[in-house]
A and B are shown apart, each in its own frame.
Chain A
Amino acid sequence: MPPAPSPSLADVRAAQSGDAEAFGRVYRAHVGRVHALALRLTADRARAEELVQDAFVRAWEKLESFRGESSFQTWLHRLTVNCFLVGDRSRRRREGRVEMYDELPESPVDRDGEGLGREGRMDLEAAIARLAPGARTAFVLHEIEGYSHEEIAAMSGVAAATIRAQLFRARKKLLEVLDR
């Protein structure tokens, strides 16, 4: 895959005027970061690709609302997170699950050694993927994307105290993995 071109505000502005080719350049410039975020949130390659597609289509629809008050990347990442949270809520409703931010067990694979690297040490990326969904979401948004507890709480509709508890569990779990 060719290297991504530099993101250009001019391309964003052109896309806001309906230039799909300019939006294609915006996509190329940002897809790597958006996909990294999507992979960490979903822990599933197919869902991550679907989330990336949804996020960029949504971005196209909402481009006019980008005023340049934050960086375009910040705007796009927030939109991606919202797409994830909305989609995840719908998915949980369909599946009849309501406990995302509570007690879902971690995948057992992190106890039997699957996913460990050559040196017997699971890399952090794989360990994050194996966190319970709520803990994973909280950790990715707070520790990697830099959202505050309150921002995550507002976006997800979950109490900030719950987010903090999820973060605590995630950190402990990840440290266990790093100690192996």
Chain B
Amino acid sequence: MSDFDELDPRDAARLREAVQALPREVEPAQDLWPGIRAEIALRPAQGHGGPGHGGPGHGAVRWGGYRWLAAAAALVLITATTTWTLARRSDPAGGATLGTEFASYERSAADLEASLQRHRAGLDPNTLAVLERTLRTIDGAIAEARVALAERPSDPAIQAFVASAYRQKIDFLRRANDVASAIGP
């Protein structure tokens, strides 16, 4: 396939020889499979099952693929911000107390965090760092919104934002649990 036509034949031979001497394989410095395994657990492939189809129990103890967590975190923030903006814009009437609903969210989140805690040993430090940073971000947003809600308890925009932030946290924790249980020990 090579065409060194425009080169001096000796130069072409030297270059061809040098190319052929290049290594055909170069192993990456780190094992990339755990990250790939984590990502494909979340992605349906054409013609076969959905996320997690490969099934758990393969014994992975490291989890390098944490990019999805960053993406999920970004999604959480974008969605929460959008919800906040829309809620402020629409400013719907009402103002029913949502304390019971929020308490329910908190119980669900606590259960999911406890479940995720059981998989900590199987997650690598980078993954844990992203996970914890994301949760801190979501919790920070919830806390700020709860302070605002305490000041204006009947403000429907703030109520909607708090509820949305809780739902995002639960969704994030569910997905983290799905992946951790699929690839964890």
Residues 1-44 of A, flagged 1 when their CB comes within 8 A of B and 0 if not, give: 10010000000000011111101100110011101100100000
- Which of the residues A16, A56, A125 comes within 8 Å of B48, measured between beta carbons? A16
A76 at the interface (CB under 8 A from B): no
A143 and B65 contact, CB distance less than 8 A: no
- What separation, in Å, do the CA atoms of A144 and B39 have in the docked complex? 30
Interface centre among B1, B22, B24, B26 (most CB of A within 10 A): B26
B47 at the interface (CB under 8 A from A): yes
A70 at the interface (CB under 8 A from B): no
Smallest beta-carbon distance B37→chain A, Å: 7
A174 and B15 contact, CB distance less than 8 A: yes
Collect the chain B residues with CB atoms within 8 Å of residue A45's CB.
29
Interface of B (DSSP majority class): loop
In which size bucket is the chain B interface? 35 or more
B45 and A53 contact, CB distance less than 8 A: no
Residues facing B in A44-98 (CB within 8 A) are 45, 48-49, 52-53, 56-57, 60-65
A53 and B36 contact, CB distance less than 8 A: yes
- What separation, in Å, do the CA atoms of A19 and B37 have in the docked complex? 11
Chain B interface (Cβ < 8 Å from any Cβ of A): 1-2, 4, 6-7, 11, 14-15, 18-19, 21-33, 35-37, 39-41, 43-49, 53-55, 58, 65
